[in-house]
Amino acid sequence: MRPNGYINDWHSRRADEIQRLCSEGVVPMDRDRQAGRPVEIPVLMGEVAGLITDILPARQIVEDMVREATEMLNLGCVYLGQRSSKL
């Protein structure tokens, strides 16, 4: 999860409360929402986000993806004993 004000508040000022609620099987965010408290929905992020080291233009990303896909298709043809694809 990408930290935001709501998440930071839970982990700093309300850490004991989140521990207690979770041990009781209560989802803290759902409880806040039901109580009418404003809830800032956190942005979920996967582990892959940590692998991003460069900020590239979209064009470069697409060109790299196409080049890598072409390389994999050609490699697949080698494994199958066929000629390279025409890509």
pLDDT tens figures, 28-47: 889 988 999 888 876 666 77
Same domain, 59 and 45: no
Same domain, 40 and 2: yes
Same domain, 44 and 82: no
Same domain, 10 and 42: yes
Amino acid at 46: G
* Alpha carbons 68 and 74: distance in angstroms, whole number: 10
What pTM value is reported for the model? 0.43
Domain of residue 84, residue span: 54-87
Same domain, 33 and 69: no
Structure confidence by residue, pLDDT tens digits, 64-87: 999 999 999 888 877 777 665 565
**Do 2 and 41 meet the contact criterion of CB atoms below 8 Å apart?**
no
Same domain, 1 and 42: yes
Same domain, 36 and 78: no
Per the structure, the count of domains in the chain is: 2
